């Protein structure tokens, strides 16, 4: 009912965008990294209430974590943190975890390119 961390980070260190063509959900996660930790995590989601809830939850779970810790956040963690999701909405937690991991991979790719 009260999503947190909605919006974009204009100078994000990494951005991950994923979607599910079956349901039409589209989710982008933006990360700002400082000292190998996710200092800020935001999202923009076009989708159902469950997609917005899982997007919000992934930002809460990931903020303050190291890159390595954030990569270990799974779809199960997202669903459990929301006290479960109906089986028909489980794909939403997949999207949230996938978007976070995509943002981290984008950050790592950009970091490698600077070397």
Domain membership flag for residue 113: no
Q: Which of 41, 39, 33 is nearest to 9 (CA)?
A: 41
Token pair 């009260």: residue: 2
Q: Are 30 and 43 in contact (CB under 8 A)?
A: yes
Catalytic site residue from 3, 17, 23, 82: 23
Domain membership flag for residue 75: yes
Domain membership flag for residue 1: no
pTM comes to 0.91
Domain membership flag for residue 112: no
Catalytic site residue from 78, 92, 102, 104: 92
Domain membership flag for residue 115: no
Domain membership flag for residue 62: yes
Active site residue 48: no
| pLDDT in single tens digits along all 115 residues of the chain | 789 999 999 999 999 999 976 778 899 999 999 999 999 999 999 988 888 989 999 999 999 999 999 999 998 888 888 887 777 776 666 789 999 999 999 999 998 988 7
Q: Which DSSP state fits 79?
A: H
> Any alpha helices (H) in 63-89, and if so which ranges?
67-71, 75-81
Residue 64 φ/ψ, nearest 5 degrees: 90, -10
Domain membership flag for residue 91: yes
Angstrom distance (rounded) from CA 105 to CA 4? 23
Domain membership flag for residue 38: yes
Q: What is the CATH number of the domain that holds 67?
A: 3.90.1010.10
Exposed (0-12), middle (13-18) or buried (19+): which is 55, by Cβ within 10 Å?
Answer: buried
- Structural domain including 65 reads 14-107
Active site residue 23: yes
Task: Tell me how many domains the chain contains.
Answer: 1
Q: How is the chain split among helix, strand and coil, in percent rounded to 5?
A: 45, 25, 30
């Amino acid at each position: 009912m009260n999503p947190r961390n909605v919006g974009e980070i204009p100078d994000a260190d990494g951005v991950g965008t994923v979607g599910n063509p079956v349901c039409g959900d589209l989710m982008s996660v933006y990360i700002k990294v400082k000292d190998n930790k996710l200092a800020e995590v935001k999202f923009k989601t076009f989708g159902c209430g469950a997609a917005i809830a899982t997007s919000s939850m992934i930002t809460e779970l990931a903020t303050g974590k190291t890159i390595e810790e954030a990569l270990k956040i799974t779809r199960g963690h997202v669903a459990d943190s929301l006290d479960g999701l109906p089986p028909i909405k489980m794909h939403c937690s997949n999207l949230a975890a996938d978007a976070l991991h995509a943002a981290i991979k984008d950050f790592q790719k950009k970091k490698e390119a600077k070397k």
